[in-house]
Amino acid sequence: MFDKSTSTYRLPLVCLTLFQLGIAASHAQPIDLAKVMPEGTLLYFSRGGDDHIDYVSQNTAFGKLLKDPQMRSFLDGLHAAIDGYAKTELDDDEQWEIYTIGKRLLGVLAKRPAALALIDGGMGDRGPFVHAAMVVHLGKAGKTFVEDLEKLMAALNAPPAESATVAGATMKRIEAPPPVGALYYGVIDEYFVLATGEPTVEKIARRIGGSGAALADSKQMTLPRERIGGSPDGRAYCLFLDVAGLLERAKAILPGMVGEDGHMVTAVLEGIASSGLRSIAWELHYADKGCYGGLYLHTAGEGGGLFSKQASNPLTDADLALIPKEPSWAFACNIDLSGIYKKFLELCKSFDPEMHRDMMEAIEKFEGILGFELDRDLLGTIGDTIVMYDAPENGGILFTGMTIVMESSDPDRLQQSLRGIVGAIAETIAEDAITVGKRTYRDHTIEYVKVTGAPMPVAPAWTSHKHRVIVALYPQMVIGALDRMLDGNDPKDSILKNPDFVAGRKVLGKLGPTVSYSDTRAGTEQLYPFLLLFGQMAAGMASAEGFDFDMSSFPTSRALTRHLFADVRTSRSDPDGILYASYGPFPFGSQSLLSTDIGTTSMLVSILLPSLSRARELAKRTVCAANMRLIGQGMYMHAQDDSKFPSEVKTLVEDNYCTEKQFVCPSSGKAPRDLNACYEYITGQTPSSNPTNVLMYEKKGCHDNEGGNVLFQDGRVEFIQPYSRIEELVKETRKRLEQQKKKK
């Protein structure tokens, strides 16, 4: 039988359950705005919106922190203080209305999924153009949002908008100067669209209607998303950068926008492309109890320079067992320091041979002071695996507990090099003030730096055990690491059994050649006193300016840290690129500066050095062209007195029309001695000669043999490539001059 009293009790529960299921269903397939962006989009950034992020993060450390009563009280007080300050600072009700509408609009943008995108760009008939868009999924609230937007625009005296129909969608259009051209805004289906250029609106309108190829379905985005992994349901942020596509647009648009300087920026992009980088993708997901972030660098082939996908072996459990169970931070990597050193010198040589020569001379002098060769005796003796860490059990403060354990192919030579470094410092300061002390511990000799007559706060120390060398800032840290090795590096007493590391490893999957760990809770606890100190000071100063905020609502240390756990990061490569993955309690990480990823540094060097090399060459090309223009001006000044150009270029120097330096191409590396070393002068011409004649041109061999600058008879200078085209122009000029002689 149906029990009325029971049904009355159960009905709210049933409704509540259905409501919760409805919420879950609405979040089962979050809005992916990359599906409404056209294929070929150059730059894309999206945020899932507070509604989605609050749902997917509710069981994570960050979500729990934001919902903590103390944190809510603090944030509510901060918002109230901002409103109070705005109320007192705004002059009248009209300004308050503008503030209120603006706040309401920003609130909607924060709550709903939103994306920014650069669709296209280039140089058109009317100059440069940029096709960009902002798309927000508003659901059924689009009309209200547009009404608020137009109220705000009217209050701010924005230019009037006219109605326009684009791809069947009713939009509003505002004229704007280049590169915008025209600004469109309006609602298409459930999406608010703000875009520059009619083609942008057309592409997005077609995608919302379900036609045309989408960015989300293109290989350029599906590949990095597949490599990054994570669940689409938990995706909160997404960034995509099509490096190759931007390079193509830059070649067309930059020279027209900023003249010759545009080539410099293009050169940097070309350098990045030549390194093998094709696209960059980053995503942040809420996963398990924390935040998973993946940065994927898609490369073509093997890449270039240090950016090549090196076959570094993944770290093993035996490597990680060297790290204590509860470190403050830790970093381990498999890396060839000697190979990186050599590659760095090679890149420097390609960047600037003169700088490379100076660097090699400095290194040679430095090695003379040290008494050993950097590569052979130091870097070359360090093996692939390097482990660095600090732990409370070390007894250090701040960074002083740092310990480094390095594999070594020749531990004795490596330690001799360390002695050489100490000896070089002693010779520089005072030979008797700094010496190397020794002590024996468990049949091992520990060496350390002794300082006499000065308050030296550290005593760098080292020793070796089998194929490893231990280095630390105090002998005590060396002893601690040595004990771990001698006692067998029990995995149960290592980071391998650290609960946070185990959890992070489960989320990240296979570990690569770099791994880092940071105790976020301990770091926050150390930072907390400073937050209180400076927060209280700031609140006191702000109150004098009318910003009334009470710091007593700031959460306690326990409230901030009770849900926190450690950050874990790794990197690994595959045939298509390199992945940098992280897992931690905060959306944007809290890695220790001391655990910086050496692999990331190598990558940046590999990208920047070739780029700067190319940019430097183009700068030299520009200087060379400027030299030729000045030479051309000198020739015309000479012709004012002699009615013809000089018979030889040294006349221009002797008559102070030009300097010797102007006859040297910066790319040649030659000294200003021979005025004809870089440029070839075609004599026998006058200001009335054919303006297409070549007056002076670069000899073959400068500018990486890509071409050369040419000075024409009318004074203009152009960079001509390939060099065979210069040879054709010179041949035509000499033919015309020969015909002119015959006529005479």
356 pLDDT more than 90:
no
Give the per-residue pLDDT at 14: 34
Out of 44-58, 303-317, 389-403, 701-715, pick the least confident: 303-317
User: For 224-260, what is each residue's pLDDT tens digit?
Assistant: 999 999 888 899 999 999 988 887 777 666 654 444 4
| Mean pLDDT in residue range 190-212 | 92
Give the per-residue pLDDT at 292: 94
CA dist., res. 471 & res. 460, Å (int): 7
Give the per-residue pLDDT at 301: 64
Out of 277-286, 328-337, 666-675, pick the least confident: 666-675
636 pLDDT more than 60:
yes
H-helix or E-strand spanning residue 272: helix 261-274
Is residue 216 within 8 Å of residue 35, measured between CB atoms? yes
Give the per-residue pLDDT at 613: 56
Which range, 154-168, 547-561, 617-631, is most confident? 547-561
Closest-CA residue to 137 (of 208, 190, 207, 194): 190
More confident residue, 635 or 426: 635
Tokens representing residue 336 in the block: 């060839």
Closest-CA residue to 685 (of 712, 718, 710, 661): 712
Residue 196's DSSP bridge partners are 183
| Mean pLDDT in residue range 723-734 | 90
CA dist., res. 236 & res. 488, Å (int): 44
328 pLDDT more than 70:
yes
Q: Which residues of 136-173 are buried (b: 16+ CB within 10 A; e: fewer)?
A: bbbeebbeebbebbeebbeeeeeeebeebebbebebbb
628 pLDDT more than 70:
yes
CA dist., res. 569 & res. 504, Å (int): 8
H-helix or E-strand spanning residue 485: helix 475-486
Q: What is the mean pLDDT of the chain?
A: 83
5 pLDDT more than 50:
no
Give the per-residue pLDDT at 72: 93
Closest-CA residue to 328 (of 591, 718, 638, 636): 591
| Mean pLDDT in residue range 181-198 | 91
CA dist., res. 128 & res. 197, Å (int): 12
Give the per-residue pLDDT at 612: 53
594 pLDDT more than 50:
no
499 pLDDT more than 60:
yes
597 pLDDT more than 50:
no
CA dist., res. 40 & res. 11, Å (int): 52
4 pLDDT more than 50:
no
Give the per-residue pLDDT at 431: 61
482 pLDDT more than 50:
yes
| Mean pLDDT in residue range 147-170 | 87
For the chain, the straight-line distance linking the first and the last C-alpha, in angstroms and rounded, comes to: 126
pLDDT band of residue 587 (cuts 50, 70, 90) is: confident
471 pLDDT more than 70:
yes
- CA angle, 321 as apex, 320 and 325 as ends, to 5°? 100
**Residue labelled with tokens 């990597």:** 333
21 pLDDT more than 70:
no
715 pLDDT more than 60:
yes
Out of 289-293, 510-514, 608-612, pick the least confident: 608-612
290 pLDDT more than 80:
yes
20 pLDDT more than 60:
no
Give the per-residue pLDDT at 591: 45
Closest-CA residue to 120 (of 47, 36, 39, 188): 39
Determine what percent of the chain is predicted with pLDDT higher than 70: 85
Give the per-residue pLDDT at 224: 94
User: For 136-146, what is each residue's pLDDT tens digit?
Assistant: 999 888 889 99
| Mean pLDDT in residue range 703-715 | 85
Give the per-residue pLDDT at 27: 43
Determine what percent of the chain is predicted with pLDDT higher than 90: 40
pLDDT band of residue 448 (cuts 50, 70, 90) is: very high
Tokens representing residue 668 in the block: 């040649």
690 pLDDT more than 70:
yes
307 pLDDT more than 50:
no
What are phi and psi for residue 604, nearest 5 degrees? -65, -40
600 pLDDT more than 70:
no
Give the per-residue pLDDT at 352: 67
- Determine the longest span between alpha carbons in the chain, in angstroms: 126
User: For 360-380, what is each residue's pLDDT tens digit?
Assistant: 888 888 888 888 899 999 999
Give the per-residue pLDDT at 254: 61
> Which DSSP string corresponds to 277-288?
EEEEEEEEEEET
In angstroms, how far is CA 176 from the centroid of its own chain? Answer: 32
* DSSP count for the chain of H helices, then E strands: 21, 24
What are phi and psi for residue 494, nearest 5 degrees? -125, 175
pLDDT band of residue 385 (cuts 50, 70, 90) is: very high
Give the per-residue pLDDT at 670: 67
Is residue 108 within 8 Å of residue 126, measured between CB atoms? no
pLDDT band of residue 611 (cuts 50, 70, 90) is: low
More confident residue, 396 or 505: 505
Give the per-residue pLDDT at 18: 36
| Mean pLDDT in residue range 333-347 | 84
Closest-CA residue to 729 (of 742, 741, 41, 716): 716
More confident residue, 165 or 312: 165
pLDDT band of residue 568 (cuts 50, 70, 90) is: very high
User: For 50-87, what is each residue's pLDDT tens digit?
Assistant: 999 999 999 999 999 999 999 999 999 988 888 888 88
